[in-house]
């Protein structure tokens, strides 16, 4: 992914920093759009990465935005996203966030509890508007991913239990200021097994028929996001296989006339275009281990510490034979570890290290723990 000229330029920059390949992002979005059916719409999950340059590119390609907070809605609007292309999800929307979203005239709320639906109805009544909503259902499908990133099982906080649906529909009929326009699922993240999406299609088909039989006029079927990326060997799949993913729905999903299908992809769009660059501060042997202490830590990329996530790591300054390292950050936490027993070219102090596939849930989750400064982001088109 990095030619020697680029490495030379990057090697002059102060580490740690993020680097985004906007050309790869552009190609990724083109490939995504090329795989879409006519009634498919993609709402980029802005929580994965909210950098303005990235949002601008998303907007240039006419994708929508899936927001999970009022500030994410504001950010999208500031980046000139049309409010009619914003959907609003989240299990704990506040009254202020709901008022903001209604006033800005976003496309749709994805509601996660009946209390929330009631509050949106009440606020809509006070503002003298009718608000269109979808309800997020928890379908109890195991997305076979890490427990903190799966969201579609009965014991997670997300969505409305699927067998409470008929109950909720009865109650919704009595609310005057909301219109039920859709239903929503989001099973979890980093899903590699496409069979999970076959099951999701089947559940969606049942719900779609059920709602139709109960005289609800459903316009939007929202199937969430969650398509995984190749963290182990990013160069083998710099662009995810969107075609196979959408083909699952093309084959298995039943839509009635004029229904739109929404997808809310985050990681699969931006994951591979971002990398975190760092330099080796120290090397030490301790209890038969080679510790490599680098100047990036969990404050820049928390995924390994938080989810035990694997990222591909390279030493861009060495072509020596590989030996095993524990690659750790400088923070005062044992979990501040990027990889254990990881084979890397034999290294020396000051070598440039790259942690790949950091475009999604990387920079957005950074913190200033230990009073560390936020890492700068560079973009491919800045450096040339």
Ligand X SMILES: *Cc1c(COP(=O)(O)O)cnc(C)c1O
**Residue 95, by phi and psi: left (phi above 0), alpha (psi -120 to 50) or beta?**
alpha
| In contact, 47 and 268? CB cutoff 8 Å | no
For residues 218 and 83, what is the distance between their CA atoms, to the nearest angstrom? 21
Note the residues at the interface with ligand X (CB under 6 A). Answer: 45, 47-48, 66, 68, 89, 186, 189, 224-227, 264-268, 360
- By beta-carbon proximity to ligand X, the closer residue of 283 and 309 is 309
- By beta-carbon proximity to ligand X, the closer residue of 136 and 279 is 136
304's CB contacts (< 8 A; 6+ apart) are 298, 310, 311, 337, 338, 339
Q: Name residue 328's beta-bridge partners.
A: 293, 337
> Rounded to the nearest whole angstrom, what is the least distance from the CB of residue 259 to ligand X in the complex?
19
> Rounded to the nearest whole angstrom, what is the least distance from the CB of residue 370 to ligand X in the complex?
27
Give the burial string for 15-48 (b: 16+ CB within 10 Å, else e).
Answer: bbbbbbbbebbeebbeebeebbeeebbbbbbbbb
- By beta-carbon proximity to ligand X, the closer residue of 338 and 361 is 361
| In contact, 355 and 363? CB cutoff 8 Å | no
Q: Name residue 18's beta-bridge partners.
A: 276, 377
> Rounded to the nearest whole angstrom, what is the least distance from the CB of residue 47 to ligand X in the complex?
6
For residues 200 and 318, what is the distance between their CA atoms, to the nearest angstrom? 46
**Which sign does the torsion angle of CA 189, 190, 193, 194 carry?**
positive
- Quote the tokens at residue 359: 């475009």
> Rounded to the nearest whole angstrom, what is the least distance from the CB of residue 328 to ligand X in the complex?
27
- By beta-carbon proximity to ligand X, the closer residue of 42 and 175 is 42
- By beta-carbon proximity to ligand X, the closer residue of 181 and 279 is 181
Strands 274-286 and 289-294: antiparallel
CA distances to 162, 281, 295, 300, 370 from 332, in Å: 43, 15, 13, 14, 8
CA distances to 11, 85, 120, 268 from 76, in Å: 33, 10, 21, 19
> Rounded to the nearest whole angstrom, what is the least distance from the CB of residue 87 to ligand X in the complex?
9
- By beta-carbon proximity to ligand X, the closer residue of 31 and 318 is 31
- By beta-carbon proximity to ligand X, the closer residue of 110 and 290 is 110
- Asked if the bond preceding 16 is cis, omega within 30° of 0, the reply is yes
CA distances to 231, 265, 305, 359 from 271, in Å: 9, 11, 18, 4
- By beta-carbon proximity to ligand X, the closer residue of 138 and 268 is 268
- By beta-carbon proximity to ligand X, the closer residue of 108 and 328 is 108
> Rounded to the nearest whole angstrom, what is the least distance from the CB of residue 291 to ligand X in the complex?
32
For residues 165 and 92, what is the distance between their CA atoms, to the nearest angstrom? 20
- By beta-carbon proximity to ligand X, the closer residue of 301 and 344 is 301
């Amino acid at each position: 992914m990095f030619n020697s000229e680029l490495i030379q330029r990057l090697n002059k920059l102060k580490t740690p920093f993020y680097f985004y390949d906007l050309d790869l992002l552009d190609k990724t979005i083109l490939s995504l759009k090329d795989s879409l059916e006519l009634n498919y719409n993609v709402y980029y999950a802005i929580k994965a990465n909210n950098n303005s340059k990235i949002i601008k590119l998303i907007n240039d390609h006419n994708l929508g935005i899936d927001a999970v907070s009022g500030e994410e809605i504001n950010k999208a609007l500031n980046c000139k996203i049309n409010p009619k292309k914003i959907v609003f999800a989240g299990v704990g929307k506040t009254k202020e966030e709901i008022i903001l979203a209604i006033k800005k005239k976003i496309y749709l709320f994805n509601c996660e509890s009946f209390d929330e639906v009631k509050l949106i109805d009440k606020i809509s009544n006070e503002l003298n508007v009718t608000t269109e909503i979808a309800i997020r259902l928890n379908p109890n499908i195991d997305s076979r991913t890490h427990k903190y990133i799966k969201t579609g099982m009965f014991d997670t906080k997300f969505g409305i239990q699927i067998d409470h649906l008929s109950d909720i529909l009865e109650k919704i009929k009595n609310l005057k200021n909301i219109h039920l326009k859709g239903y929503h699922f989001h099973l979890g993240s980093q899903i590699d097994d496409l069979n999970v999406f076959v099951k999701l299609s089947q559940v969606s088909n049942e719900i779609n028929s059920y709602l139709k039989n109960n005289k609800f006029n459903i316009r939007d079927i929202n199937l969430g996001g969650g398509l995984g990326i190749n963290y182990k060997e990013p160069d083998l799949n710099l662009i995810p296989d969107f075609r196979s993913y959408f083909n699952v729905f093309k084959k298995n999903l039943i839509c009635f006339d004029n229904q739109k299908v929404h997808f809310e992809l985050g990681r699969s769009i931006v994951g591979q275009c971002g990398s975190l660059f760092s330099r080796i501060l120290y090397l030490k042997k301790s209890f038969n281990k080679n510790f490599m202490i680098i100047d990036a830590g969990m404050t820049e990329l928390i995924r390994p510490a938080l989810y035990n996530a694997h990222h591909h790591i390279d030493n861009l300054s060495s072509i020596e034979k590989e030996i095993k390292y524990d690659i750790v950050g400088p923070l005062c936490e044992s979990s501040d570890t990027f990889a254990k027993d990881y084979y890397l070219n034999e290294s020396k102090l000051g070598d440039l290290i790259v942690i790949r596939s950091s475009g999604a849930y990387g920079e957005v989750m950074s913190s200033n723990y230990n009073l560390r400064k936020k890492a700068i982001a560079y973009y491919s088109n800045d450096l040339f």
